């Protein structure tokens, strides 16, 4: 099994999770809800915070672990950030874009969600560049 920095995984997971709270909260929460045609009250109906946030945290950790395996031991900061941006733009946003085209979702929603994942993986890359 490849050796990865578990400290980097932990920090990247927490920062990724925190970015989501900011991104889908004060930064783009209202725009995101508008694109979905929903309100905060409607989103809270039947919402299970433990399940949703718990699963989100686990998925963030798994993403950080796999990124650490992908990037390898002790990556250079610039290379690690570059790969993070590439993963966010081309892998995650590219996959979202394909789905959004067929679902006829808006460019605005694509930019909100794709932007989140691009910034998220850039941060994960920066963490591995510093701590990996």
Burial of 76 (0-12, 13-18, 19+ CB in 10 A): exposed
Ranges of each domain in the chain: 6-131
DSSP for residue 73: S
pLDDT band at 2 (very low <50, low <70, confident <90, very high): confident
- C-alpha to C-alpha distance for 102 and 99, rounded to whole angstroms: 5
Give the pLDDT of residue 3: 87
pLDDT band at residue 1 under the 50/70/90 scheme: low
pTM: 0.93
Integer CA distances (angstroms), 106 to 23, 96, 103, 120, 126, in order: 18, 12, 9, 21, 30
Dihedral angle sign, alpha carbons of residues 83, 79, 116, 52: positive
pLDDT 10s digits, 58-82: 999 999 999 999 999 888 999 999 9
pLDDT for residue 35 is more than 70: yes
Confidence of residue 132 (pLDDT cuts 50, 70, 90): confident
């Amino acid at each position: 099994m490849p050796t990865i920095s578990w400290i980097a995984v932990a920090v990247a997971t927490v920062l990724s999770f925190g970015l989501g709270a900011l991104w889908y909260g004060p930064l783009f929460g209202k725009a995101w809800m508008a694109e979905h045609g929903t309100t905060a009250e409607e989103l809270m109906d039947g919402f299970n915070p433990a399940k949703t946030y718990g699963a989100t945290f686990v998925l963030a950790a798994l993403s950080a672990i796999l990124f650490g395996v992908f990037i390898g031991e002790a990556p250079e900061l610039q290379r690690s950030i570059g790969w993070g941006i590439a993963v966010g733009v081309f892998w995650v946003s590219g996959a979202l874009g394909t789905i959004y085209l067929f679902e006829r979702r808006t460019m605005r929603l694509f930019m909100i969600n794709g932007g989140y994942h691009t910034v998220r993986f850039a941060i994960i890359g920066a963490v591995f560049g510093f701590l990996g």
